[in-house]
Amino acid sequence: MFIEQPPKVFRWFYPHALWRINPDKKAVYLTFDDGPIPEATPFILDTLDRFEAKATFFMVGDNAAKYPHLVDEVRLRGHRIGNHTHNHLSGARHTPWTYLSNIVKANEILQTKLFRPPHGWIGMVQYRVLRHCGFKIVMWDVVTRDYSRLLTEEDVINNVKRFTRNGSIITFHDSLKSIDKLKHALPEILAWLKQEGYEFGVIE
């Protein structure tokens, strides 16, 4: 995605997906996609602990299989886990059967009913089948673009400051593309959110 906030038309296409939580409550919902990996996830967990913040981690099943101790550590520290497919598949590039089978494979490890489609792309058939199977499809209200080579740490911080509002689901990544920026940006962002009076919630 190349936009910090999804256009309303996206929300109309998937009205039962979760884009934002209670706008009347001063709370935000931190999410981290693409992990877990040892180069990024431990730093993120330690930083969240420093600020007494909880988050939801949308994990790639293949990474979870490689690093089961990190999956356990995320749960042990009180965070939630979501499914991000087994091989980070795009719903736009694969048949419904291939895509859904990949989600099932990941869920053998992750055991969760929270799902976020990689890149935010999911076909209507895939969307309907997942909802029928009881999955909660979680999108976002703010994507930080921490993975982008075109953005600096300050750009990531400013994206959060500019677009965050009550109930925002904020997307970061625990990945090799993002971790160098997050080492500076994440503590700054968490400190700012606390200063602004936001509570940290997890997605149920």
- In the chain, the N- to C-terminal Cα span, in Å, equals 24
Select from 141, 130, 114 the least CA-distant residue to 19: 141
Q: Are strands 169-173 and 55-59 parallel, antiparallel or unpaired?
A: unpaired
Q: Mean pLDDT check: name the lowest of 73-77, 91-95, 115-119, 170-174.
A: 91-95
Residue 3 covered by a domain: no
pLDDT at 4: 62
> Alpha carbon of 153 to those of 6, 44, 68, 159, 180: distances in Å?
21, 15, 30, 10, 8
Q: Is the pLDDT of residue 147 over 90?
A: yes
Q: Beta partners for 171?
A: 31, 143
- Is 193:28 a contact under the CB 8 Å cutoff? yes
Q: pLDDT above 90 covers what percent of the chain?
A: 89
Domain coverage including residue 13 = 8-201
Residue 163 covered by a domain: yes
Rounded CA separation 112/109 (Å): 9
pLDDT at 148: 96
Give tens-digit pLDDT for 182-203: 999 999 999 999 999 999 999 9
Rounded CA separation 47/190 (Å): 9
Residue 53 covered by a domain: yes
Total number of domains constituting the chain: 1
Catalytic annotation present for 33: yes
Rounded CA separation 103/142 (Å): 24
Give tens-digit pLDDT for 60-90: 999 999 999 999 999 999 999 999 999 999 8
Residue 102 covered by a domain: yes
Catalytic pick from 84, 86, 173, 174? Answer: 173
- In the predicted model, what is the mean pLDDT of the chain? 95
Residue 42 covered by a domain: yes
Catalytic annotation present for 173: yes
Q: Is the pLDDT of residue 34 over 60?
A: yes
Assign residue 48 the CATH number of its domain. 3.20.20.370
Angle separating helix axes 124-132 and 96-110, nearest 10 degrees: 40
User: Count of residues for the chain?
Assistant: 204
Largest CA distance in the chain: 46
Catalytic pick from 16, 33, 72, 184? Answer: 33
Residue 2 covered by a domain: no
Render the burial of 86-122: b for 16+ CB within 10 Å, e for the rest: bebbebeebebeebbebbebbbebbebebbbbbebeb
Residue 133 covered by a domain: yes
Mean pLDDT of 159-174: 97
Decide: helix, strand or coil at residue 33.
strand
Residue 1 covered by a domain: no
pLDDT at 53: 98
Rounded CA separation 90/144 (Å): 20
- Which one-letter DSSP state was computed for residue 7? -
Q: Is the pLDDT of residue 159 over 50?
A: yes
- Is 204:81 a contact under the CB 8 Å cutoff? no
